[in-house]
Structure 1
Amino acid sequence: MPTSQTNRHAAPLLVIGCVVFGLGSLIVKFVPVGAYAIAFWRLAVAAVIFWLLARFFGQQMPKNKRALKLALLSGVFLGFDLALWHESIYAVGPGISTLLNSLQIFFLSAIGFFFFGERQTRLQILSLFIAISGVALIGSPEFSHNGNAVWGFASGIISGAMLALSMIFIRETHKIEKVQLFPMMLLVSLGGMAALVLPSLIFNADSLYPTTLRDVGLILVYGAIMQCLAWGLIAYAVPLLSLTLTGLLLLSEPVAALLIDYFWLHKPINGLQWTGAALTLLAIYLGSLKSKHA
């Protein structure tokens, strides 16, 4: 059957998308461009690609001005999500930073509870306490030997909040007008670029541009592969899978980043931190589940 065939391919495509997205942290780690600046260039590359795709497929920009503004605002939050995630990568490494960024699920739950009246299940509340315990276990050894740990954890957690806000504004945009994929992603990219211009000039004045052809190539890969291809695979696969399976498979991104951190970048991660990482992954998974009766 075509539908079952499609669903069968969705799970591996989602895992591939998550792993490829996690590999982007290596580019951030090794390209000597500032955290805000490389986020700007990533979104700039993506904006060009999404503009070309929108033109090629004849997809139109939203006609409603409020929908247009909300899509751009979503991009503002995405821009700061990326920049702060990059700051966290510099401070505590790709693995821990990606794990902290994945805590966005709890910010989404909090926003849903306080602003949209969404009820929280006991499982989701339990998952929050498990996540706090996991992050504490990860952080305790890091704070003892890494002078940048406080900023790394703060920027990683705040990046998760920014990502949650970006997702909320995408949802609010669609409530006003059903914007097609490529114009939506173009507007999100443009909003992020606009928000990052001034911070890039202020904080990354000495590391604003890639200085070698290698670095230019890596930034092109970062924008085209991580922002467009990886996000495209994730966006394609998620609607085709159950929420339970989606929540489990999305954990492949922080798991991949942790393994890269440990085996490739040789970051020392002790048993206490691995236990904390496992607890945090469990919490993120549980937090992604919703009661069938909610």
Structure 2
Amino acid sequence: MTGFIFGAIIISFSSVMVKLANVPPDVAGFYRLFVGGLGMLAILWKMGKLKNLTRHVWVWSLLSALFFTADFYCWHRAIIATGPGISTMLANFQVFVLAAVSIVFLKEKVSLKFLIAMPTAMLGLYLMVGVSWDAFTPEFKLGVVYGLLTALAYALYLLSLKYSLSKADADPLAMACAVALITGVCLGGLSIAQGESFIIPDNQSLAALGALALICHAGGWYLITRGIQVVRTSLVGLILLLQPTLSYVWDILFFNKPTTAVELIGVGLALTAIYVGSLKSEETT
């Protein structure tokens, strides 16, 4: 369990590193996913599992990689526009997309937990960004939209990844490695299409991108992938809440994010709702 908790703490720094990298969002995504994917490749090699990266795994990784590309395209823009805290909170609304898919397409019954969590999440969202909406800049408002689109793209990524893993009967780490490398190539292609430079401007950017790729992505997700197999299901959602919670704390500590009592109440309600929603998601998987 210690490794799983440590992994959640590590990935909470991801949005901070994107902010500190000071490069275009898709360039940050390229370095994070492609270099992070190479880091996962090194882990597979160290474990003697390179053979698990079969052609079958690469083919089944394509759909997940497309949704993962959309996820990072939106999330990195949300981070730059709204900051690490709000953007990560919004991205974790993916649990409600997953629950909605279960209800609408898998014909599962609406549980009491979901009926409680959904309006609680909407109230939390309103208190976080709705109360002061008119005072926000157009850039911040667009960042909120990107954050909610991140939640949608991330949910679709998780659904496609679960489906691909079941069809390919693959090693989860091998699949994560293939998805990361393909997503990195896609984000790199988007950067080239937009005429963005891949030059790393200074040592701060180099350190931030290195930490983002090798520590946050490769290391963090390796610990989570390994730890999720031994942690009780009832604790998974609670422990993973460390990511949005700590990202919000880092935003305040490192970037002097201004906060109000109303916003903090909204954050608390959203976190509570996300946890309850994650319990619903775990019960239906």
| TM-score normalised by the chain length of structure 2 | 0.90
* Pairing 1:74–2:64 present: yes
In structure 2, how many angstroms separate the alpha carbons of the residues matched to 1:293 and 1:216? 41
Give the structure 2 partner of residue 265 of structure 1: 255
Give the structure 2 partner of residue 139 of structure 1: 129
> Are the aligned partners of 2:27 and 2:196 in contact in 1 as well (CA < 8 Å)?
no
Matches within 5 A, 1:172-191: 172-191=163-182
**Structure 1 residues 201 and 59, CA, compared in 2 at 3 Å: closer, same or farther?**
closer
CA offset digits 1:110-159 (Å, max 9, x no partner): 22233333333121132111111110110134423321232111111111
- Partner of residue 154 from structure 1, selected from 122, 145, 149: 145
CA offset at residue 20 of structure 1? 1.4
Moved more, 245-254 or 277-286: 245-254
Moved more, 38-47 or 16-25: 16-25
Identity of aligned residues (%): 24
> Are the aligned partners of 2:62 and 2:179 in contact in 1 as well (CA < 8 Å)?
yes
CA offset at residue 244 of structure 1? 2.5
> Are the aligned partners of 2:97 and 2:155 in contact in 1 as well (CA < 8 Å)?
yes
* Pairing 1:105–2:95 present: yes
Give the structure 1 partner of residue 30 of structure 2: 40
**Structure 1 residues 235 and 118, CA, compared in 2 at 3 Å: closer, same or farther?**
farther
**Structure 1 residues 213 and 168, CA, compared in 2 at 3 Å: closer, same or farther?**
same
CA offset digits 1:177-216 (Å, max 9, x no partner): 221133212210122123223322244x345331224422
> Are the aligned partners of 2:37 and 2:218 in contact in 1 as well (CA < 8 Å)?
no
Aligned length: 282
CA offset at residue 293 of structure 1? 8.6
Moved more, 150-159 or 44-53: 44-53
SS of 1:185 mapped into structure 2: helix
In structure 1, how many angstroms separate the alpha carbons of the residues matched to 2:140 and 2:154? 21
> Are the aligned partners of 1:17 and 1:233 in contact in 2 as well (CA < 8 Å)?
yes
Give the structure 2 partner of residue 198 of structure 1: 189
**Structure 1 residues 117 and 34, CA, compared in 2 at 3 Å: closer, same or farther?**
same
**Structure 1 residues 220 and 234, CA, compared in 2 at 3 Å: closer, same or farther?**
same
Q: Which amino acid aligns with 1:90?
A: I
- Partner of residue 105 from structure 2, selected from 102, 115, 135: 115
In structure 1, how many angstroms separate the alpha carbons of the residues matched to 2:239 and 2:245? 10
In structure 2, how many angstroms separate the alpha carbons of the residues matched to 1:117 and 1:191? 33
Give the structure 2 partner of residue 164 of structure 1: 155
CA offset at residue 38 of structure 1? 0.6
**Structure 1 residues 142 and 17, CA, compared in 2 at 3 Å: closer, same or farther?**
farther
SS of 2:188 mapped into structure 1: helix
In structure 1, how many angstroms separate the alpha carbons of the residues matched to 2:61 and 2:283? 31
Give the structure 2 partner of residue 3 of structure 1: none
Moved more, 193-202 or 176-185: 193-202
- Partner of residue 225 from structure 1, selected from 195, 215, 218: 215
- Please list every run of 5 or more consecutive structure 1 residues that lacks an aligned counterpart in the other structure: 1-9
CA offset at residue 28 of structure 1? 0.9
**Structure 1 residues 293 and 101, CA, compared in 2 at 3 Å: closer, same or farther?**
closer
CA offset at residue 275 of structure 1? 0.6
In structure 1, how many angstroms separate the alpha carbons of the residues matched to 2:54 and 2:69? 24
The Cα RMSD (Å) is 2.2
Matches within 5 A, 1:6-45: 10=1, 12-45=2-35
Q: Which amino acid aligns with 2:237?
A: G
Q: Which amino acid aligns with 1:272?
A: V
CA offset at residue 292 of structure 1? 10
CA offset at residue 255 of structure 1? 0.9
SS of 1:60 mapped into structure 2: helix
- Please list every run of 5 or more consecutive structure 2 residues that lacks an aligned counterpart in the other structure: none
